[in-house]
Amino acid sequence: MQRSLLAFYYGGSDTKIRARMDLIDRSGGRRTRVLTMLRRDESEGANQRLFIYFHEPSDVRGVSLLVWKYPAKDDDRWIYMPAMDLERRVSANDRQSSFVGSDFTYEDVSGRDLGDERHRLVGEGSAGGRACYQIESTPVGASSYARRVWWIDKQNYLPLKEEYYDRRGGLVRVFSADEVRSIATGSHTYPTVTKRTMKDVRTGRRTEVTFTDVKYDLGLRAADFTERSLRRPPAAWIR
């Protein structure tokens, strides 16, 4: 489980991602958002900082999210909405709320700590034609789901599929890794989920996220991830 966490959320010492987010309703209507995500690891598998900036469309341009992630305690999250010139803390109770109207939650974006759930190996299977470990994870505290079952690639430890169930045993959300690419940086190669989908089974909506550009090990600074960055994003990286 630790190896899966490192593979999915901690590739390289830092990263810069340009991404397209498509919010698709049950009839096929589509809204598209373009964003940049920066990530810097303070320590591997532990303290981490993330910064997300929205470029398009115009009604969300300048919206930014800052996350300071810690092991074994609640993360600090801030969001800035320029239309109202409003900066606010995102409560720990909101971590399973929708991330800017998508089918992903804040927690899906910044990740969970291993101690947030109890994990057990329930079998083996395949996803996307890849051999996988099948894991069942049950939340330790209050949660919007009762359990999730997921498939972890045996070779690179990336999660390729996740199913979320409610307390009645009903399937509510499905995550899929639709494309995995190896991103080369210097002497290192990082397997990366470059296209991912989260589907809400009850509403028929889904959110597709496609990474259009990924770079690792850029030397991002801690100064790029401060509250000041919410109103004044680091221009060298946000273009």
Q: Give domain status of residue 42, yes or no.
A: yes
What does the pLDDT look like over 92-122, one tens digit per residue? 667 788 888 899 988 888 878 888 899 999 9
Q: Is the pLDDT of residue 239 over 90?
A: no
Label residue 45 by pLDDT band (50, 70, 90).
low
Peptide bond preceding 82 in cis form (omega within 30 of 0): no
Whole-angstrom distance, CA of residue 82 vs CA of residue 238: 16
HSE-up (13 A, CA, CB side) for residue 25: 5
pLDDT of residue 197: 97
Label residue 90 by pLDDT band (50, 70, 90).
confident
What is the DSSP code (8-state) at residue 106? H
Q: Is the pLDDT of residue 46 over 80?
A: no
Where in the sequence is the domain holding 188, given as residue range(s)? 2-231
Query: Residue 167 is part of a domain; what is its CATH number?
Result: 2.50.20.10
Q: Report whether 237 contacts 220 (CB < 8 A).
A: yes
- Nearest one of 211, 237, 184, 233 to 64, comparing CA atoms: 233
Whole-angstrom distance, CA of residue 239 vs CA of residue 237: 6
∠ CA 205-149-98 to the nearest 5 degrees? 35
Q: Which two tokens stand for residue 196?
A: 């991912």
As a whole number of Å, the CA-based R_g of the chain is: 17
Greater model confidence, 46 or 4: 4
Q: Give domain status of residue 99, yes or no.
A: yes
Q: Is the pLDDT of residue 91 over 80?
A: no
Residue where the block lists tokens 């690792």: 216
pLDDT of residue 186: 82
Lowest mean pLDDT among 49-58, 70-79, 116-125: 70-79
Tell me what the mean pLDDT of segment 127-146 comes to.
Answer: 92
What does the pLDDT look like over 140-169, one tens digit per residue? 988 889 999 999 999 999 999 999 999 999
Q: Give domain status of residue 237, yes or no.
A: no
Q: Give domain status of residue 190, yes or no.
A: yes
Tell me what the mean pLDDT of segment 23-33 comes to.
Answer: 95
HSE-up (13 A, CA, CB side) for residue 30: 8
* Identity of the amino acid at 102: S
Phi first, then psi: what are they for 2, rounded to 5°? -65, -40
Q: Give domain status of residue 238, yes or no.
A: no
> How many separate domains does the chain show?
1
Q: Which two tokens stand for residue 81?
A: 């909405």
∠ CA 51-57-62 to the nearest 5 degrees? 35
Whole-structure pTM value = 0.90
